[in-house]
Each structure stands twice: as C-alpha cells, then as structure tokens.
Amino acid sequence: MNDYAGPREGGYRQEGYSRDTGYPREGGYPRKDGGYGGGFPRKEGGNRFVPKPVEPTHGVIYQPYAVTGNKDIAGEWLEWAKTMAPELDRRGFTLRTGGGGQPLEEAFESAAEHKEIHLPWKDFNQKESNYTRTHKDAEALIRRAQPNYESLKPAVQAILNRNAAVVFGKDLRSPIRFMITYTDDGVEMGKDRTSQTGFAGLPIVLAGWLHIPVFNLKNADAAARLQRYIDACTIVQ
C-alpha cells in the first residue's frame, strides 16, 4: 500500500478497495478525524458503502439439446419422446428445435416445458416464438456446410440458416450438448450422410464440427446410449 504525502495531513492512500472481493477494506479516502475508511467518504455515524451481494442462482446450468428428424418415424418413438422430454426437463436440459413440424420435433415440443423454437421467419408453420431472428453470421456457417447453397431459393436458404441457431444457439456461442434425430439411414456423422438423411443431414454436419454426440433413433442402441450419456452429464437431478 502506498501513501501520498500531500499538502495536508493524511494525503491520499491507495488500495482502498479490494480487487478480489469488491468490498472496502482499510485504506481509501482520508476522513476528517485523520483515519482512513474503506470505500467512499462518509459522515460520522453514517453507513459504510458495501456493494449489494450477488443473489445465488437456482443452480441449474444451461444445457441445450436439439431434436430434428425426417417425417417417417415409428409411432413408438413418438410415445417415447413424450416421456423423455419431461425427464430431460427435470435434469435441467432445454430443448431446441427448428419448428419444422417433423413428428419427432412435434412430440418433444408438446411435452417439453423448457424449450426454444428457432424459426426462419415469423409465423413459420403457424408457430410463434421469440427466436425468429437469425444471427448475421449464420449464413457464413451454412455456406461452409452446404455446397449448393447459392443455387437454393431464398426461403430454403433461410430455413437452412436457422439450423445454425438450433445447433450453436441464438448467439452462435451456446452449442447444444447432444442431438436426438431419426433418419432412414441411421446416420450420426456428417461424413456418412446419404440421400436418405434428408434435411436432418445439415444439423448433423454442424454438430460434427464440435464433436457433439448425435443419437439417431433408427439405430437399435441409440436410446440406451442416450440414457447413459444424460446420466453421465446431468448436473441437477
């Protein structure tokens, strides 16, 4: 701690404010009585300035996951989705979909309490959502993942751009923890996608960039692998 000998007794003393805690400590501005009080000067008998303590959070870490898929899916998986979505809610996960209306998405959307429906434009598929504005950098990401992007119609481009928000978040800085999907070819990695992967192929490619696990329900062991995964990464039960 350094003192400055000014023209009057007391001068100015540094380190009147703790860098570590934010609370006043010995030091600070000189008082008329010759002592040093922490923080801002106060009148005799007044209260020392103390920052308001940070309120504790509820303890649930933001853990988004995505659901996508194609139209053809066995009905048993839709019933499974309606039980899995509430379980993921209880474990602190937040659903993300693209509002595409595929049966698997719809089943999760109807059963999940915590969800983000990312739409390419307002009233897409007659849905309303606060997540309708795509980040300005989303298009650049999709151009890298979709070779024929330039030849597509603007509406299709907007739908594809929305996938960046589904996988990486509205700010493109909040990636999902895992993806649940269903395609006829059972693909879980972008390099393996085929013509049967359909529109679910692009989200799978994006997830692969960050090595995000994809669980394709076409594969017999997908549900069991998913359960083991969420058991391992659940923060709040």
Residue 58 maps to a domain? no
* Rg from Cα positions in the chain: 27
| Pairwise pLDDT comparison (60 vs 124), residue with the higher score | 124
pLDDT for the residue 185: 95
Average pLDDT over residues 76-97: 96
If asked whether residues 45 and 74 sit together in one domain, one would say no
pLDDT for the residue 72: 85
If asked whether residues 102 and 81 sit together in one domain, one would say yes
* pTM for the full predicted model: 0.73
pLDDT for the residue 204: 97
Q: 3-class secondary structure for the chain?
A: CCEECCCCCCCEECCCECCCCCCECCCECECCCCCECCCCCCCCCCCCCCCCCCCCCCCCCCEEEEECCCCCCCHHHHHHHHHHHHHHHHCCEEEEECCCCCHHHHHHHHHCCCEEEECCCCCHHHCCCCECCCCCCHHHHHHHHCCCHHHCCHHHHHHHHHHHHHHHCCCCCCCCCCEEECCCCCCCCHHHCCCCCHHHHHHHHHHHHCCCCEEECCCCCHHHHHHHHHHHHCCCC
The string of pLDDT tens digits covering residues 16-55 is 444 444 444 444 444 555 544 444 444 455 555 444 444 4
What's the structural domain count of the chain? 2
pLDDT for the residue 234: 72
pLDDT for the residue 58: 43
If asked whether residues 100 and 215 sit together in one domain, one would say yes
If asked whether residues 67 and 7 sit together in one domain, one would say no
Q: Look up the domain containing 225 and give its range.
A: 63-233
Question: Does the pLDDT at position 183 exceed 60?
Answer: yes
If asked whether residues 19 and 75 sit together in one domain, one would say no
pLDDT for the residue 27: 45
Average pLDDT over residues 133-141: 90
Residue 121: pLDDT band with limits 50, 70, 90: very high
Residue 219 maps to a domain? yes
Question: Does the pLDDT at position 170 exceed 70?
Answer: yes
pLDDT for the residue 133: 82
Q: Which of 11-15, 68-72, 134-138, 213-217 has the lowest mean pLDDT?
A: 11-15
Residue 33 maps to a domain? yes
Query: What's the mean per-residue pLDDT of the chain?
Result: 82
If asked whether residues 49 and 145 sit together in one domain, one would say no
Q: What is the CATH number of the domain that holds 128?
A: 3.40.50
If asked whether residues 168 and 198 sit together in one domain, one would say yes
